[in-house]
Amino acid sequence: RKEVEQDPGPFNVPEGATVAFNCTYSNSASQSFFWYRQDCRKEPKLLMSVYSSGNEDGRFTAQLNRASQYISLLIRDSKLSDSATYLCVVNDFGNEKLTFGTGTRLTIIP
């Protein structure tokens, strides 16, 4: 089983729609959780950290369910500029590495 699993997509969504991504992780001791965004042939950039209480940043909402080892990202009112690959990332306590999922590719259609 992969440490971090994501649906690779692609997701093709009309502009203005709401889209949700899901991610599961295998290590119950994982400590920190993130969503990164990666544009084509560019480096990953931190989109947001994910907290147990859930957190929101503008049109983006992230949720963490530790019991189910499940992370989600919701994008509301999607824009053309949201087209990118979204990477689910986990960091285990006492572990220096970030573990990435394979990423979910999103294309917003005008």
Which residues contact other proteins (rule: CB under 8 A)?
4, 8, 32, 41-46, 49, 87, 95-103
Q: What is the DSSP string of the chain?
A: --SEEE----EEEETT--EEEEEEES-TTEEEEEEEEE-TTS-EEEEEEE-TT-EEETTEEEEEETTTTEEEEEE-S--GGG-EEEEEEEEETT---EEE---EEEEEE-
Q: Shortest Cβ distance from residue 98 to other proteins (Å)?
A: 6
* 46/109 with CB nearer other proteins: 46
* 71/103 with CB nearer other proteins: 103
* 43/58 with CB nearer other proteins: 43
Q: Shortest Cβ distance from residue 103 to other proteins (Å)?
A: 5
Q: Shortest Cβ distance from residue 71 to other proteins (Å)?
A: 14
